[in-house]
Amino acid sequence: MSRGIALLAVAGIATAPAPLPVQLTFAILGIGVVGMVHGAGDLAVVEEDRRPAFLGAYGLVSLVTLLWWTADPAIALPAFLLASAVHFGMEDAPDGTLSERIARGVTLIAAPATFHAAGYADLLRAAGGPSSILPGVTPMFAVAGGGGAIMLMILAWRRHDVRLAGGVTALLLLPPLVGFTLGFLILHALPQTAERRDRLECAGTIAYLRTVTPVFAAAMLLAGVVAVLLLRFDPSGVRGLFAGIAALAVPHLLVTPWFERRSGRHRACAAGIN
């Protein structure tokens, strides 16, 4: 895992000075491919007799999210960012204090604005449409993200946590798309993938990937279709990226916790998803 993080960091640093389309490609590969792997294990942590209801709820929330984003992205975007911040805080510091959870959620969402306010505002404008109010409050994001980053850097120093320090550094210093992609992977997606792999008692990451391949392939197809459809509203592809991620992330945030088994580990990896 550490070697993979190092390779991602090198790729991110190399991508940082590149034009926006190259940065967007890095974000699509990082968030939409590597980052989606942990969510692809959602079905495996649901009891078999509850899976039809789970899939129905998952699909319904995904569809509603997509329709909402298409009809009113100016409202859908802040709702998605808020839900994501809560999710990051709860999952990335399950045993942490309330202040640490808040800092983790706020930092992942807002820290890229601290030193890259103009680029961050441009992303919010592209994702939320011309009527979005979020670009105008980018200075507030910058202050909140910077404050959260300081707190997390202090925690990283006290705990000798290189991963935490590296993720926060990427969020602060790299351009918003690249910085968020690396921060998301380092602080959230990769640790959650490892947690899912171990919980399903997989022999390794390859075994986990083999188990979740059908769900992962379906998720990739859905995200790709959403992104292509939304190119007519935003030729840059930014809104399509956000909408595709939201259509998969929102049910992951809201539906999975209600259906997820809480009782220890599961042998879904060894046996396959039945």
Decide: 211 and 44 in contact? Cβ < 8 Å.
yes
Would you say residue 15 lies in a domain? Answer: no
Provide the pLDDT for residue 274. 41
Q: Is residue 246 part of a domain?
A: yes
The pair of structure tokens assigned to 82 is 């808020």
State pTM to two decimals: 0.86
The pLDDT tens digits of the residues spanning 164-206 come to 999 999 999 999 999 999 999 999 999 988 888 888 888 888 8
CB count in 10 Å sphere of residue 46: 22
Number of compact structural domains in the chain:
1
Other beta carbons within 10 angstroms of residue 197's beta carbon come to 24
Please state, in angstroms and rounded to a whole number, the distance separating the CA atoms of residues 54 and 251. Answer: 10
Tens place of pLDDT for every residue, the chain, 274 residues? 577 778 888 888 999 999 988 998 898 888 878 888 888 888 888 888 888 999 899 989 988 988 888 788 889 899 999 989 999 999 999 888 999 999 999 999 999 999 999 999 998 988 888 888 888 999 999 999 999 999 999 999 999 999 999 999 999 999 999 999 999 999 999 998 888 888 888 888 888 888 888 888 887 787 777 767 766 666 766 777 777 788 888 888 889 888 886 555 555 665 444 4
14: in domain: no
Residue 263 pLDDT:
52
Evaluate whether 168 touches 111 at the Cβ level (below 8 Å).
yes
Residue 16 within a domain: no
Residue 197 forms part of a structural domain: yes
State the Cα–Cα distance between residues 87 and 102, nearest whole angstrom: 10
**CB 157, CB 5: distance < 8 Å:** no
Selection from 244, 234, 126, 173 nearest residue 134 by Cα: 126
- Joined together, the tokens standing for residue 173 give 């210093």
Task: Please give the distance of CA 208 from its chain centroid, rounded to a whole number.
Answer: 19
Do residues 135 and 117 touch, judged by C-beta distance below 8 A?
no
Range of the domain at 132: 2-8+23-271
